[in-house]
Each structure stands twice: as structure tokens, then as C-alpha cells.
Amino acid sequence: MNILDEKINHINILLASKSPRRQELLKNIFSNFKIEVREIDETFPNSLKGGNIAQYISEQKAKAFILDKRDDLIITADTIVCLGDIVLGKPKSHQEAYDMLRSLSGKTHVVYTGVSLLFKGRITSFYDATHVSFYDLSDEEINYYINKHQPFDKAGSYGIQEWMGYVGIQKMEGDFFNVMGLPLHKLYREVNKLID
Amino acid sequence: MNILDEKINHINILLASKSPRRQELLKNIFSNFKIEVREIDETFPNSLKGGNIAQYISEQKAKAFILDKRDDLIITADTIVCLGDIVLGKPKSHQEAYDMLRSLSGKTHVVYTGVSLLFKGRITSFYDATHVSFYDLSDEEINYYINKHQPFDKAGSYGIQEWMGYVGIQKMEGDFFNVMGLPLHKLYREVNKLID
């Protein structure tokens, strides 16, 4: 029994994400939740930058449930990787993954996860930012990682909880779990506020 | 097959640590290693501070193998938690764990892991530091965590990969895995240098 479970045992929780990493992470603060995913258009206004992009897309994901008028607490999230003003998405090929990792090598990028909570017809949203600094990566390391871990489902072409995260990252600043796809600390606190 | 495995497949690796977390972490950069632990006196000179304490203790652990004159690469490590000049060890009781977590609440502390590599009769050692900032923790949260996770084997009374790490930590700066007990990024690089 989790400390938040007792407070919210009258509320059904729905995680609207197909990411297995988010599902694993959420289990650490809620024992029970369902998963239901609705596809949305993930384009965003050009005027948005960084964390506001991730927050905007998470809001769109939550809005896909708003007409349901159900009693559940619905959690949506979106994670993006930004190198300066460039937003790195999921790579479509080995070459794209190589190019992304080559561009991240030796530099600091920012990972933003936006989260929206739809509860009682209202959406509360926020984002968290984590700065991640890569070592200089060799071609051998980049190609080894892509071949072994096939990071084609990951924005920015790497998972921090995989080999590249273990050996390629010099330092990070912020929430580790935010990089994995869900800022658990903030989420825990926002849910606490919402149900208080 | 791991990228380092190919380079060192002629070398046997020995991890001299009984920590299951270190064993799990090391698996991410080496596929094969043995475990053998020797108990040592973990006291240290009063003149040492912070990371030098962890590095010193890891060296003592490595020295316990130096007379063996074996060909293995022997890896030892020690992790300490420092709040200002106070070194927090493993708590011996619920009350001690409570007192440690209460003292960490709302503050930033530093986790140091010292690592020593004994190879061909020589010891190479280093340490890594990660700054960890806790939210203000409620008594309910602290007691819930101690009761559920029994952090009596953990310096500082918490595991960053447990519930307290998921919800209690506002931010961190440095290597996440260093807090878990092994600075994998530095270790990977130091081993590469050693065997080059």
C-alpha cells in the first residue's frame, strides 16, 4: 500500500500513455491504474519553445478525454529533447539516430516532460526540465549503442536507463525520472494538491 | 556482448562489494565478473573530508587484495552521504533513520562514491560527487518510507531508486548511478584508460 493510495482510493487513475517506462515509473507512486491511449495530432504552434511544447502536447492528450466526463484522474505526458532551439524527436533510421547522438555528443541538452492531469473536468498541467551533459562519444560507442538498443522509440535517440545513460552522460541536473518520461516528484506533489 | 567486454575479454573482473545495487549496476558495463568481499576496518583519518573519505575507504578495500598478486582487475567502492561536515552512515534503528531523513529534509546533501581499481599490483582510485536536494518531508512520509523500505543497509537512510527517491528529491546534480553506489560513467572511462 502506497502513501498516496490511501488518500485516493476512491479515485480511479488512468494513465494515457503507451510508454512502458512511464507505466513502470507510475507504479512507484500508485499501486493501481488503468492504461488507455488515444492518438492525437502532436503538432504544436511554432511560437512555443522548450517545456511549453511538451506541456502543450500533454494538454492535447488530456483534451482527448475531456468529453468523456468521467470521474477518473487522467494523467497524460509528453517528453521532448531540445538541443538549443532544435527539438529532437524519435529517430526513423540508424542514420537519424547516429546524427542525433553525434549532435548531442560533448554538449548539454535539456529534456522536458510536460504532464497534464484531467480531473473533474479541469486540466492542470506543468512541466519539468532536466539538463543532461554528454561526454564526447566515439563513433564506435554511438554505433554500438544504436545496434544493441535500437532507440527508435526514444526522443533524442537514447534512454538514460540504458547503456548510453550509464556510460555516456557526464552529469545531469534535475529529476532523473523526468528524463525517463515522468517527473515523479512533481507529479506526486501535484496530485496531492489536487485531491486535498 | 558489451563494448568493453571485447577489449577486456582476457581480463577477469572481480567486484569486491556485497551491495546488490553495485552488482546490478556493474552488469550494465561488464557482462562477466565475480564477486568476493573481504571485511576491512572502515575507520578513516579525521583529517579527511567528503569524497576523500570514500576514496580512502575504497583504497583500503582494494589493499585487502594486494598481497594476492592475481591478474584480475579488482573493483572496490565505498559510498558516503555528507550533510555539510557530518558524515551519515547506515542507520541502526527506526529512530536513527528518522533522524537522518529529518536532517536531510529541505536541504542539499552530497553523495560521494570512491572507487579503487587494483590491476597489475597498482591501485588507481577516484571519487565522484552528486548533489541531492530534498523537498521538505512530512513525518508521515518519512515514517511510511522507513516502515516500508527498511533502509538500514543504506548510508543516509534512503535509496534514490526507491519511493523516497521517486517522491522526496527535488533535484540532483551529478551522476544518478553514483548515488546508487557506483559512478558508472567515470568507472567506464577509468577502466578504458587502464587497459588501453
Map residue B175 onto helix, strand or coil: coil
Residues 22-51 of B with CB under 8 A from A: 25, 28-29
pLDDT of residue A1: 58
What tens digit of pLDDT does each residue of A132-156 get? 999 999 999 999 999 999 999 999 9
> For A110-121, what is the mean pLDDT?
96
For testing contact with chain A, the best of B185, B187, B189 (most A CBs within 10 A): B185
Write down the pTM of the prediction: 0.88
Instruction: Decide if A65 contacts A40 (C-beta within 8 A).
Output: no
What tens digit of pLDDT does each residue of A161-171 get? 899 999 999 99
Nearest CA in chain A to B145: A3
pLDDT of residue B31: 86
Q: Does domain A3-195 have CATH number 3.30.479.30?
A: no
Structural domain boundaries in chain B: 3-195
pLDDT of residue B1: 58
SS (H, E, C) chain A: CCHHHHHCCCCCEEECCCCHHHHHHHCCCCCCCEECCCCCCCCCCCCCCHHHHHHHHHHHHHHCCHHHCCCCEEEEEEEEEEECCEEECCCCCHHHHHHHHHHHCCCEEEEEEEEEEEECCEEEEEEEEEEEEECCCCHHHHHHHHHHHCCCCCHHHCCCCCHHHHHCEEEEEECHHHHHCCCHHHHHHHHHHHHC
Give the residue ranges of chain B where pLDDT is below 50.
Answer: none
Cα Rg of chain A (Å, integer): 17
pLDDT of residue A3: 74
Enter the ipTM. Answer: 0.82
B164–chain A nearest CA distance, Å: 9
**Catalytic site residue B78?**
yes
Host H or E run for residue B184: helix B184-195
Taking alpha carbons only, the member of A109, A115, A113 closest to residue A156 is: A109
